[in-house]
Amino acid sequence: MLTVNKEKAKKLGVWLLAIFLLATHLLIRSTAQAAEPDAWKQIYTWNGDCRISFPSVPKMIQQALTVTEEGDKLTYDVYLAPLNEKALCLLLVAVYPFPLKSGQELAGIEGLLNGIVGHHPENKLVFVNIINQKGNQAVDFLVQAPLSYFRGQAMMKGNKLYLIAIEGRKGELNE
């Protein structure tokens, strides 16, 4: 019975995470004012296990969601920084209350992608590729909406999900 609760909690957590990402995006995007970046700023995540560079010092949002009746929590930190008023860069680090079984990492990421694509009926998954990221399987993807794009890479390691992404206006994607 505990296994069923963990599986349901994982699915619920992934969907809640996708919904939170989109809600956070709307909030930050509507209020972000970006200056031309002089140089990208390197930061470490709050717990120090990830280093990344942003075009400006990012805003950080922390959240914890109870995902089981036993009180297990999904916690996550989202780091957001605008890029030239045309895009929003983000890093999400989600910590699940228990690790996925070995080999289930891609299924967890698939749930996140389904949540992002399924958030709006006009969203389309343009491509998804499985890549190797420092010895771990990761997913490289692009989701397009009528007026915007969401380009990212996601990886699960143990009980952590890492999502690095940029969201911007459609037609201005320049890789």
Domain contains 53:
yes
Most confident of 37-46, 93-102, 135-144: 135-144
Domain contains 123:
yes
pLDDT tier at 35, thresholds 50, 70, 90: very low
**Which domain covers residue 35, as residue numbers?**
2-169
* Secondary-structure breakdown of the chain: helix, strand, coil percentages, each rounded to the nearest 5: 25, 45, 30
The torsion defined by the Cα of 143, 91, 120 and 110, in degrees rounded to 10, comes to 70
Tens of pLDDT along 52-108?
A: 888 888 899 999 988 888 999 989 899 999 988 789 999 999 988 888 777 788 888
> What is the CATH classification number for the domain harbouring 86?
3.40.1000
The pLDDT assigned to 9 comes to: 52
Domain contains 122:
yes
Total count of domains within the chain: 1
Domain contains 174:
no
Cα–Cα dist 117/125, whole Å: 7
Domain contains 29:
yes
Cα–Cα dist 13/95, whole Å: 10
Domain contains 159:
yes
- What is the model's pTM? 0.77
Kindly tell me if the per-residue pLDDT of 19 is higher than 80. Answer: no
Percent of the chain past pLDDT 90, that is, above it, reads 30
Cα–Cα dist 168/128, whole Å: 18
